[in-house]
Structure 1
Amino acid sequence: MLILGINAYHPDSSACILKDGKLIAAVEEERFLRIKHWAGFPFESIKYCLNSAEAGLQDIDHIAVSRDPMAKAVNKALFVLKNRINWHLLNSRLNNLLKINKIGDELSSKFKLPKRRLKARFHYIEHHRSHLASTYLVSPFNDSAIVSVDGFGDFSSCMAATGQGNKIKVIYSIDYPHSLGIFYTAITQFLGFNKFGDEYKIMGLSAYGQPKYMNQLGKILLIKPSGSFKLNLDYFSFYKSGTAMLWDNTEPKLGLLYSEKMIEEFGSARNPDGQITPFYCDIACSLQKAYENVFFHILNYVYEVSKNPRLCLAGGCALNSLANGKIFENTPFKEVYIQPASSDAGGALGAAYYVYNNLLNEERNFIMDNAYWGPIFSDGQLSEEIKKYSNQLESLNCLVTRHQDDLFSVTASLIAEGKVVGWFQGRMEWGPRALGNRSILADPRRQEIKDILNARIKRREWFRPFAPAILEEKIPEFFDVDYPEPFMLKVYNVKEEKKGLIPAVTHVDGTARLQSVNEKQNPYFWKLIKAFYEKTSIPVLLNTSFNENEPIVCTPAEALDCFIRTKMDALVLGNYIINKP
């Protein structure tokens, strides 16, 4: 049985494919089109998934879409009547929903397959049910509490459930316009970060401030009984006039979410090019704290209802690694699983598994314990690509060498010498984090390496931290936890006596967003970190995404382009090491 999962006409468009319940491939469209968070129809992603399964569109049995245009239709209609939504924007939303309903036509057209040959049955799965399924149904848990929190989708912004075996039972949901995700995004916009997906920057910035504005934010985000919350809508503009949401075959864009009352409360919003003053740092810190208060309020209520010590998280807010790292100390939960693509990209995965396990009642037979589900390139393909770039590499006086047994030792030596190394191996990561297959690596012992990376390669804001990748068995030696974190989705405290050993990956507040690595999940990356450990006695590498203000590189050509145009010192493509003089 083949099931194709799709997230279309929504940010982070993506696709995945299951064969008899086992994941074969999963990928985001942005990696092919080179536009961050690309929203539209994921044609290239679907094509890749079909090729990975050695199947044609005509072979697919079920197509699962992570949206349900009919979900909460009455609630939507009542909201529109009550709030007199701008007709132009309402028409835009309706057109988006119509496109969801016509995905079969789009597939037939794109793949030049007559609809009569498309045997697949279509399933439209509610946005947050897709999120819930995307984490629980691929988790290692046989039962758990499940929570999805994001901006909104299919008129909900939060949904909680319990999972038992292959079934998911919804406990409660919170409807639009009350949204923890929109609250966070609105203040992110006020702080001058207006691009879609900029919220993660606030987590880094918050460490430079103090929570001085909790009283003001407490008037805007209100905690209610039974795990609920409300926005004081006087501070927001999106719910009345309707906020422009451009996410059709483009980079997604959001209009302004906050109202003039927000400016009356806090003063002038920061210009995107303006200075980041202590005032804005304090607002960032207060925002993160206010978010956490409500987030833990939700989780504690869900625990009280479920009485289950295991938790699965999903939705865009599950990328808030600062909050995720505090779950154990602020709730009774003892185990937490977060699927690596917890954003809307993961909806494709969740829709597919919801169909397989919930609707078709098939037993669960897959656990996602690694994030490597994207394209892979053979040694021959890597060699051919290097040949194509031979003139450019020669003009930079690069030395290309091929290695076998000493690949890890030689690369570890380069990093230990202070070199910045691009590392391109195996299948590309699924989700927003580079986890050792499309990574830029550096020595965590060197404080100055942060400035070098920001100035020479990444060209990003000064306040954003870099992450450590650590041998799994060494976690308790360096961090205040002993819990694997293979997907880099939780921030923990670095032990006091270790901060000076890994300053390049220790943030100003003494924390780090760690990635644990074991030999089973990623043997190549594990061997490299182990080789570095043997040379330096430090079982940690600085690991950041292989990109320069673009989506993470997918192909060897993109890796070579990034290597050539930046001041990276070396590039490892499979078994090839390319050194700049």
Structure 2
Amino acid sequence: MYILGINAYHGDSSACIYQNGTLIAAAEEERFRRIKHWAGFPSQAIQFCLDEAGIRITDVDHIAISRDPKANFSRKVFTALKNRLSISNMLNRVKNLKKAASITDEFCNHFNIEPQQLKAQIHNVEHHRSHLASAFFASPYSKAALLSIDGFGDFTSTMTGIGNDNQIKVLETVSYPHSIGVFYTTFTQWLGFPHYGDEYKVMGLAPYGKPKYVEKLREAIKATDNGLFELNLKYFNHPTKGVNMVWEGGIPAMDSLFSDELIKDFGPARRSDEPLSQDHKDWAASIQRITEEIIFHLLKHLHTKTGLDSVCIAGGVAQNSVANGKILLNTPFKQLYIPPAGHDAGTCIGASLWVYNHLLQQPRTEPMLHGYLGSQYNNEDIKEFLSDKNVKFEKLENHELFDRVTDCLINAGVVGWFQGRAEFGPRALGHRSIIADPRRTDAKDILNAKIKRRESFRPFAPSILKEHVETYFEQTDNVPFMEKVFQIKEERKVLIPAVTHVDGTGRLQTVDQHIEPKYYGLINRFYEKTDVPVLLNTSFNENEPIVNHPAHALDCFLRTKMDMLVLENYIITRE
């Protein structure tokens, strides 16, 4: 049985393919199109998944789409009419919904087949149920409390539930217009970060400020006695104007979400070219703090309601790794699982698992312990590519490779590291990474000068050998997807300044020898030479989607100033 899952006509479009409950491949469309957060029909990701499975679209038994145009339809219409949303906004939404509803036509047109040739049964799986399934059915827990929390999907922003074996029971929902995701995005825009997906910049900026404005922000969002939350709608445009999403050329964008009332009460919005003041940093700290409070409030209520000690979380807000790192310290839950793609790209996996486990009632398969599900190229592929490009290269065995790379790092080098299958999700996890020596106090400046060219306040992450976590961090947990931020122990901060954020934290990735032996081997060789079991890890890109093909990696190497490029067992260095 083949199940194709897709996230379509939405930011972070993606596809995955399952065979008898086993995940064969998953990829985001942006990796192929080279446009961040690409939105639309994920045709290239779909073709990649079919190729990985060795099948054609006519062999697929089920197609699961992480969106249900019929969900809450009457409420959508009532809200639009009640608030007299603009005609253009309504037409945009209807056009987008039509695309999602007529997905069969899209498949037939793209693959040049007749409708009768497409044997797959089409399943529209509501957005937040897809999120819940992506977390629970991929987790190692047989029973768990569930939370999906993001901006909006199918007119809902938040959903709680219980997962039990191969079934999910929905408990509570928070519906339009109330949304933590919209709250965070609105104030992200107000702080001068206008692009789709910029919320992580506020999270990175927050440690530079003090949460002076938390009480003021309670005027905009508040926890409610029923364990949920609500917005003060006068500060937000979406209840009266709608959320006008634009997908021009596959690039997602949205109108300004903050109202004139918000500017009146909170002050003028920062221009994107305006220098960041301490006041802006204090606002970022306050926005982050109150968001954490609301998340903990939801989870405490969920724990009381379910009595369970394990929780699975997904949704765009689940990408807030700072909040994630504090959940077990601030709620009664004892175990937490967040999938590698907790954001909307991961709903292709959730929709597939909802169909396989919940609808078809098939038994659950192995939990998702890694996110290495994308494109891969062997040494023969690499050699042929480099030869065609007339690039000078050298091939090394693993032990020689580890020595050369670690020597380069120790001598202040920056290395592009490309190996194995590409990661699915927003984090580079040692397969499409740029790596550096975490002991260097100037590593951040070197990286920003040579390659990343990004805001100075954004941190770099530590990849650490799994068995050394308790030596370096205040909390001990398995963090394979870089999904949590923990406090670094005081005496260790001086050893790894390049990956210690201004507040003494690090967004760690634990590296397991059994799951990722090559990246583990590299870090371990660095540990043998330096007595530090950590490498600085950041995504292999330069203001673009993470590299997917050796050509993307070579292009990035050539146009930046990194010192070495590793493509599987081949290395390229500067002349």
TM-score (norm 2): 0.99
Amino acid of the residue matched to residue 446 of structure 2? I
Deviations 1:126-170 (A, max 9, x none): 000000001100110001001000000000000000000000000
1:113-124 superposed matches below 5 A: 113-124=113-124
Cα distance in 1 for partners of 2:248, 2:17 equals: 23
Cα distance in 2 for partners of 1:448, 1:382 equals: 33
Cα distance in 1 for partners of 2:298, 2:487 equals: 24
Cα distance in 2 for partners of 1:52, 1:248 equals: 30
Identity across matched positions, percent: 51
Match of 2:529 in 1: 535
Match of 2:42 in 1: 42
Deviates most, 355-364 or 412-421: 412-421
Deviation at 1:248, TM superposition (A): 5.8
1:228-307 superposed matches below 5 A: 228-247=228-247, 249-307=249-307
Match of 2:88 in 1: 88
Q: Are 1:473 and 2:467 matched, yes or no?
A: yes
Match of 2:569 in 1: 575
Cα distance in 2 for partners of 1:307, 1:373 equals: 34
Match of 1:340 in 2: 340
Cα distance in 2 for partners of 1:249, 1:18 equals: 29
Deviation at 1:249, TM superposition (A): 4.6
Return the match for 1:552 from 546, 557, 561.
546
Answer whether contact 1:10 1:248 (CA < 8 A) is retained.
Answer: no
Match of 2:201 in 1: 201
Cα distance in 1 for partners of 2:447, 2:388 equals: 27
Q: Are 1:17 and 2:11 matched, yes or no?
A: no
Deviates most, 237-246 or 199-208: 237-246
Match of 1:439 in 2: 433
Match of 2:184 in 1: 184
Match of 1:376 in 2: 376
TM-score (norm 1): 0.98
Corresponding pairs, count: 575
Match of 2:106 in 1: 106
SS of the aligned residue for 1:168 comes to strand
Amino acid of the residue matched to residue 291 of structure 1? T
Amino acid of the residue matched to residue 547 of structure 2? V
Deviations 1:458-500 (A, max 9, x none): 0000100000000000000000011110000100000000000
Deviation at 1:404, TM superposition (A): 4.2
Match of 1:360 in 2: 360
In structure 2, runs of 5+ residues without a counterpart are none
Answer whether contact 1:157 1:178 (CA < 8 A) is retained.
Answer: yes
Deviation at 1:290, TM superposition (A): 0.8
Match of 1:487 in 2: 481
Match of 1:562 in 2: 556
Cα distance in 2 for partners of 1:243, 1:224 equals: 24
Cα distance in 1 for partners of 2:225, 2:2 equals: 43
Amino acid of the residue matched to residue 438 of structure 2? P
Q: Are 1:514 and 2:523 matched, yes or no?
A: no
Match of 1:53 in 2: 53
Answer whether contact 1:9 1:249 (CA < 8 A) is retained.
Answer: no
Instruction: Calculate the aligned-residue CA RMSD, in Å.
Output: 1.0
Match of 1:414 in 2: 408
Cα distance in 2 for partners of 1:117, 1:186 equals: 45
Amino acid of the residue matched to residue 566 of structure 2? V
Match of 1:147 in 2: 147
4+ residue runs over 6 A deviation: none
Deviates most, 232-241 or 174-183: 232-241
Cα distance in 2 for partners of 1:342, 1:156 equals: 16
Cα distance in 2 for partners of 1:305, 1:416 equals: 52
Deviates most, 425-434 or 231-240: 231-240
SS of the aligned residue for 2:219 comes to helix
Cα distance in 1 for partners of 2:183, 2:207 equals: 19
Q: Are 1:308 and 2:326 matched, yes or no?
A: no
Cα distance in 2 for partners of 1:381, 1:374 equals: 16
Answer whether contact 1:3 1:63 (CA < 8 A) is retained.
Answer: yes
